[in-house]
Amino acid sequence: MSLSDTLLQRVTHLLSTSAGTLVRIVKTEPITEGWSARFGMSPWPWVARCAIAAETTTLPASVIVKARHPARHFRSEPERFHNEAVALDFLTRIESAAGPRLLAADYEEGILILEDLGTGPALEDLLVGHDAWRAEQGLIAFATALGRMHATTVDHAASYYHLRSRFGPVDPAFDRLSILGIDIRGAFRRLQEITASRPYLPPAVDVEKDVDEILRVLAEPGPFLTFSNGDTSPANCRLSDGGLRFLDFEHACFRHALLDVAALRFPFPACPCWSHVPEEIVQRAEDAYKKQVVRSCPEVLDPIRYTQGLTAACAAWTIVRVTRLPKLEKTDEPQPMGFSRRGQLLDTIATTVTCSQQSRSLQSLAGWFTDVSQALRLRWPHLPLAQPFYPAFC
């Protein structure tokens, strides 16, 4: 990000006020490390690393400056900026190290100054690498950090939403029943319209009760109500000797914890760096998650409640993702690692069907998903039965 003179002056003032002494910015540079940067998802023009100089030890040698997206940007909704600002403030207040510390902020100008988590790898960098052991350890570190964040934020929803209400009305009920800002019920209605308008696809018959059950589970999470950054992507984290910490809290909210855990099963259904992980490694990652969260949510060890909750979470993700079908009918542009996006869609459906079989829940919906998948495979006969593993596990 090229800092304008006005923004540079404002950041300098914020840092100087926070430190109680004059602070100078000696260098700015874009965030370019990692797989996402190599494949064009960054540098993000609204984020920069700033090296600073000051006669104090209270500030680090560098900070991250994140500016509100410009009005013309597709992510310009003020809610995203407010979500991130409040999320980091919230985590700082409860002394959680899940994300970067919020060092200073100008809410009117749309500026956040964050702790620099360094240039270590994101989980995605390990998954696309060639070291299976490092990739597995990275996935376990991700699950461990997720469990720790969930465990330390149970029972803090009221505090979070009190802070969030400073920036206008907020709907905690919508947070529980949406994914990345997409209403799950609305996504299902859209999916019904998609299948009804295509003679080659089976209509959604006798699945409403299962969809109602998904929404009930998510709306009433009980002890599973925890804080989430809202986008459990392998890009949104950094690894260091101190462990793994999360980035990007624009979709932060309190919701059912297993909506985050479901990302390990697919894995990571809504990100460009998508592929598969061997089943035994996914299980070890989930075990690492449970080990952390059990102290605050012992129900995570209840096999029935866990597997049925995870099935509901996976089904919700699948409903939202399958609404991409009209776009995929037109073209199947390879995702950045060269795999088929149509194949990803079919594998997403297969993950939920498998979860349903294991938990013996949502069987009508799973049966319909199976029929949809079979119909799509008849139209896409060239696709393999499953897409490949991440390069690290090949």
Q: Look at residue 52 and tell me whether its pLDDT is greater than 70.
A: yes
CA distances from 289 to 156, 160, 258 (A): 19, 23, 11
The reported pLDDT for the residue numbered 329 is 95
Q: Do 180 and 68 reside in the same domain of the chain?
A: no
Q: Look at residue 71 and tell me whether its pLDDT is greater than 70.
A: no
Please indicate, yes or no, if residue 86 is contained in any of the structural domains. Answer: yes
Q: Which residues pair with 47 in a beta bridge?
A: 66
The larger pLDDT score, comparing residue 251 to residue 335, is at 251
Last residue of a domain, one of 65, 89, 115: 115
Sign of CA dihedral 103, 104, 107, 112: negative
Q: Look at residue 32 and tell me whether its pLDDT is greater than 80.
A: no
- Range 94-103 average pLDDT: 94
Please indicate, yes or no, if residue 143 is contained in any of the structural domains. Answer: yes
Q: Do 226 and 102 reside in the same domain of the chain?
A: no
Q: How do beta strands 62-67 and 102-106 pair?
A: unpaired
CA angle 295, 301, 304 (to 5 degrees): 145
SS3 content of the chain, % helix, strand, coil (to 5): 50, 15, 35
Name the band, by pLDDT with cuts 50, 70 and 90, for residue 242: confident
Q: Do 73 and 216 reside in the same domain of the chain?
A: no
Distance, CA of 160 to CA of 253 (rounded, Å): 8
Domain total in the chain? 2
Distance, CA of 265 to CA of 286 (rounded, Å): 9
CA distances from 184 to 62, 65, 215, 309 (A): 40, 33, 8, 16
Q: Look at residue 56 and tell me whether its pLDDT is greater than 90.
A: no
% of residues, the chain, pLDDT over 70: 95
Q: Do 296 and 372 reside in the same domain of the chain?
A: yes
The reported pLDDT for the residue numbered 3 is 64
* Burial classification of residue 300, based on how many CB atoms lie within 10 Å of its CB (0-12 exposed, 13-18 middle, 19 or more buried): buried
Distance, CA of 337 to CA of 273 (rounded, Å): 7
Which two structure tokens, joined as six digits, stand for 169? 């009305």
Q: List the CATH number of the domain containing 261.
A: 3.90.1200
Q: Do 155 and 190 reside in the same domain of the chain?
A: yes
The reported pLDDT for the residue numbered 76 is 45
Q: Do 137 and 111 reside in the same domain of the chain?
A: no
Which two structure tokens, joined as six digits, stand for 338? 């060269």
Last residue of a domain, one of 86, 115, 144: 115
Mean pLDDT of the chain, nearest integer:
92
Distance, CA of 310 to CA of 293 (rounded, Å): 15
Q: Do 235 and 277 reside in the same domain of the chain?
A: yes
Top mean pLDDT of 15-24, 38-47, 163-172, 211-220 is at 211-220
Q: List the CATH number of the domain containing 100.
A: 3.30.200.20
Q: Cβ neighbours of residue 392 under 8 Å, at least 6 residues apart?
A: 126, 127, 128, 129, 130, 131, 132, 134, 135
Q: Do 74 and 152 reside in the same domain of the chain?
A: no
Name the band, by pLDDT with cuts 50, 70 and 90, for residue 200: very high
> Tell me, what amino acid is at 26?
V
Q: Do 107 and 135 reside in the same domain of the chain?
A: no
Please indicate, yes or no, if residue 124 is contained in any of the structural domains. Answer: no
User: What are the tens digits of pLDDT across the range 128-174?
Assistant: 999 999 999 999 999 999 999 999 999 999 999 999 999 988 999 99
Distance, CA of 37 to CA of 48 (rounded, Å): 13
Which two structure tokens, joined as six digits, stand for 211? 């969809």
Residue closest to 149 by CA, chosen among 220, 226, 213, 215: 226
Q: Do 96 and 133 reside in the same domain of the chain?
A: no
199: cis peptide before it, omega within 30°? no
**Boundaries of domain holding 59:** 5-115
